[in-house]
Chains A and B, each alone.
Chain A
Amino acid sequence: AQTVTQSQPEMSVQEAETVTLSCTYDTSESNYYLFWYKQPPSRQMILVIRQEAYKQQNATENRFSVNFQKAAKSFSLKISDSQLGDTAMYFCAFMTPRGGYQKVTFGTGTKLQVIP
């Protein structure tokens, strides 16, 4: 079974600063995907960034980037130039394509507050 651990229940950052959210995971699979999802108060889960385990290059999406350390099973999210709209819950998630469908395992989340 796969597990995803987020050890930071809450974090805060000043507007325009940079913040890093931590995530570790455990799996015996060699082929898998990692995700960061954002959940604002509207409750809708929004995909922020995705990383394929076979790719060594870290994924980036505008102000969002990841630090993927496969050997350490670590997958942190860096948010640069934080904006007030980044305030939300952030969930790290894991998925293996075994079975061909997206059964995603989520961590417990980190509540991020961006302070003006």
Chain B
Amino acid sequence: GAGVSQSPRYKVAKRGQDVALRCDPISGHVSLFWYQQALGQGPEFLTYFQNEAQLDKSGLPSDRFFAERPEGSVSTLKIQRTQQEDSAVYLCASSSSISGQGARDSPLHFGNGTRLTVT
């Protein structure tokens, strides 16, 4: 596709339910990022993939959060046993940059995000 695609656009979950959020990056982009954006805040880094390898998961807030990108393209962010504090917009971004090349040549391309509401 022409851009980063995320689904669903909206997700309502009852506390304790598991959810899965999907990100389809720009074709050929090796780098993929997940960000969490709470209401009224800026996005905060969750995790980074280079192809299928998860190189940085330092931003994941708890072990209830899990991300995967098994074939180096589509990624899924899974949240187990959702809590109200998980309510946020989850943004995915991709980039053609490769670790070691630096970041000057390719800005991040963001999707429209998934708004998760936990009731």
- Interface residues of chain A, those whose CB is within 8 Å of chain B, are 4, 33, 35, 42-47, 50, 52, 91, 93, 95, 97, 99-109
Contacts and interface: CB of A to CB of B under 8 A. Distances in A.
Nearest to B91: A45
A27 to B, nearest CB: 15
Interface string B92-104: 0101011111111
A103 B104 contact: no
A97 B101 CA distance: 9
B108 to A, nearest CB: 6
Contacts of B42: 4, 91, 93, 106-109
Contacts of A109: 40-42
28 contacts: A43-B89, A43-B91, A43-B113, A44-B112, A45-B43, A45-B93, A45-B108, A45-B110, A91-B43, A95-B103, A97-B103, A97-B104, A100-B97, A100-B98, A100-B102, A101-B31, A101-B48, A101-B50, A101-B97, A102-B33, A102-B103, A102-B108, A103-B33, A103-B48, A104-B108, A108-B41, A108-B42, A109-B40
A108 B42 CA distance: 4
Contacts, number: 75
Interface of B: 31, 33, 40-45, 48, 50, 55-56, 89, 91, 93, 95, 97-104, 107-108, 110-113, 115
B56 A103 contact: yes
A35 B31 CA distance: 19
Contacts of B107: 35, 47, 50, 102
Contacts of A4: 42
A78 to B, nearest CB: 20
A100 B112 contact: no
Contacts of A93: 42
A46 B111 CA distance: 10
Contacts of B91: 43, 45
B35 to A, nearest CB: 8
Given A45-B91, A45-B110, A100 B100 contact: yes
Nearest to B102: A97
Given A106-B42, A108-B42, A109-B42, A101 B111 contact: no
